[in-house]
Homo-oligomer: A and B are copies of this chain.
Amino acid sequence: MNKRPNERTVNDLFLSGNLREYLQQKNEASLRAIPNSQLNLPLHVGPYHSLYPVDKHFDKTDKSFGYLATIFKCVSNLDGRLYCMRRLEGVPITSGKFLEPIKKWKLVDSANVVKVYDAFTSKAFGDLSLITIYDYYPLSLNLMETHFYRIGNKDPELITEAILWSYIVQLTNAAMEIHNKGLFVGEFDPTKIIVTNKGRVRLSSCAIGDIVEASKDHNQFQNGNQKVEGETDGAKVIDEQKKDLERLGGLVLNLSKSTTFIKDSSTIKPMEIIDRLTFSDEFKKILRYCLTPDSTWKHFQELLAPHILEVANGFENSADYMESSLLTEVENARLVRLLCKLDVISERPEFIKDGSWSETGERYPIKLFKDYVFHQVDEAGNSVVDLTHIVNCLNKLDSGVDENVLLVSPDEMTCLVMSYKRLKELVESSFRSLS
């Protein structure tokens, strides 16, 4: 009853349908491109090329931080990787000094913040644009799109208490790393938080706010206002970090509100709205705490601890699930290499001439083996296509196991007994002679 090595069913070898489909959609989104001429976009923006708009609605009237904004995916000349490019039109950046906030933001390294790589100005679009470069997440939607809009034929996702706990933990993680780098979030804008995977959120558009702010400060200064620098900057950051907690509470409150019908919700006080939510008392308690004036991140994290643990448990499970899927997939890469090798050495016109594939030639066993693997027929001579048989044979050939196989010529006049080990050597030596 012992299962032999290399005995795996075809189902073991392929991913389950949903995950495969989702991953392929991501790959396709990454590869999507349009001939440049149709888009009227610049060929290069700094070291980035192959621009392709990734907005759900390529609508130029969208405003972001007070400026017209568009988002592209693009390819870097430097490493060939895909990146996400955000363009803000006509930001009055008159000095490289305004771009300085990017230095600190580049150091932010969190699983819940979209990494920012670069910020520069460009005249490639015909105006003076502020360009910022981020990691690219194919198929990502922002929180508004995820929970409030119908995209294609996908209904908006229901907001539940479990999802909100997870968002709170993830956004807290993002905020803590941003604070650690001497920065603050500033705004938890649901159109600037993207969902990159089931339940995974990331703060996006980082650094832009600080750069736009720097250019504004400068203009005010030019209009006669004195900008106070130095220590007060540090005090301002600490104050803003404190305010981040209230802002996080505000976002969560707005998302929560949508789960209940509340008449005239704009005239009702936040604390009263919280009372009316159909969520657990613990959830309401923590949400109230966010919105309390003298709340601190430290105590907030303490209250949150059991839920952080729960969310961590979920991420551990995700990592395990992905790994178990990978375990089934790694074998395919080996099979691709082996199949390519077999096809490279088979049927070569020059070999057919030199007789090495004829019945007395050295490569004849490989020909018979391929018949055995791919061209099975039943007693009546009808073809039998059995992917399990094919994959099993290829796995054995790949491992070069010490098991014999009986090879019979189509006319049944020639019989050969040969081990997979010997066949593997034959394939390898044939391939080596070519490459």
Interface residues of A (CB under 8 A from B): 1-8, 13-15, 19-20, 23-24, 26-28, 31-36, 43-44, 49-50, 52, 75, 110-112, 169-170, 172-173, 176-177, 197, 200, 301-306, 308-309, 311-320, 322-323, 325-327, 329-333, 335-337, 339-340, 342-344, 346-350, 367, 370-371, 373-375, 377, 381, 383, 385, 387, 390-391, 410, 431, 434-435
Contact = CB atoms under 8 A, between A and B. Distances in A.
**Most chain B Cβ neighbours within 10 Å, of A320, A326, A435:** A326
B75 A15 contact: no
Contacts of A301: 305-306, 309
A239 B323 CA distance: 38
A392 B325 CA distance: 25
Given A305-B305, A339-B336, A434-B385, A312 B169 contact: yes
Contact of A311 (B2, B312, B367): B312
A303 B54 CA distance: 43
Given A3-B75, A313-B173, A343-B343, A331 B111 contact: no
Nearest to A313: B111
Contacts of A434: 383, 385
29 contacts: A2-B50, A2-B52, A20-B333, A27-B327, A110-B313, A111-B316, A111-B317, A112-B316, A169-B312, A170-B316, A172-B309, A176-B309, A177-B313, A302-B302, A304-B305, A312-B312, A322-B322, A322-B323, A336-B339, A342-B343, A343-B373, A347-B347, A347-B367, A349-B371, A349-B410, A350-B381, A350-B410, A383-B435, A385-B435
Given A6-B31, A326-B329, 8 more contacts: A1-B50, A23-B323, A172-B309, A308-B309, A315-B316, A332-B336, A343-B373, A347-B371
Nearest to A28: B5
A390 B338 CA distance: 13
Contact of A330 (B13, B27, B31, B323): B27
B343 A370 contact: yes
Given A315-B316, A383-B434, A344 B374 contact: yes
Contacts of A391: 336, 340
A210 to B, nearest CB: 23
A295 B350 CA distance: 80
Given A173-B313, A305-B305, A347-B370, A333 B339 contact: no
Count of this chain's copies in the oligomeric assembly: 2
Task: Give 6 closest A-B pairs by Cβ, nearest first.
Answer: A322-B322, A111-B316, A349-B410, A312-B312, A302-B302, A315-B315
Contacts of A314: 111
Contacts of A44: 1
Contact of A390 (B169, B333, B340, B347): B340
A66 B416 CA distance: 57
Contacts of A318: 315, 319
A2 B34 contact: yes
Nearest to A196: B320
Nearest to A19: B326
A306 B176 contact: yes
Contacts of A200: 316
A2 B309 contact: no
Nearest to A176: B309
A330 B24 contact: yes
A371 to B, nearest CB: 7
Contacts of A322: 319, 322-323, 325-326
Nearest to A36: B2
A418 to B, nearest CB: 19
Nearest to A332: B332
B329 A333 contact: yes
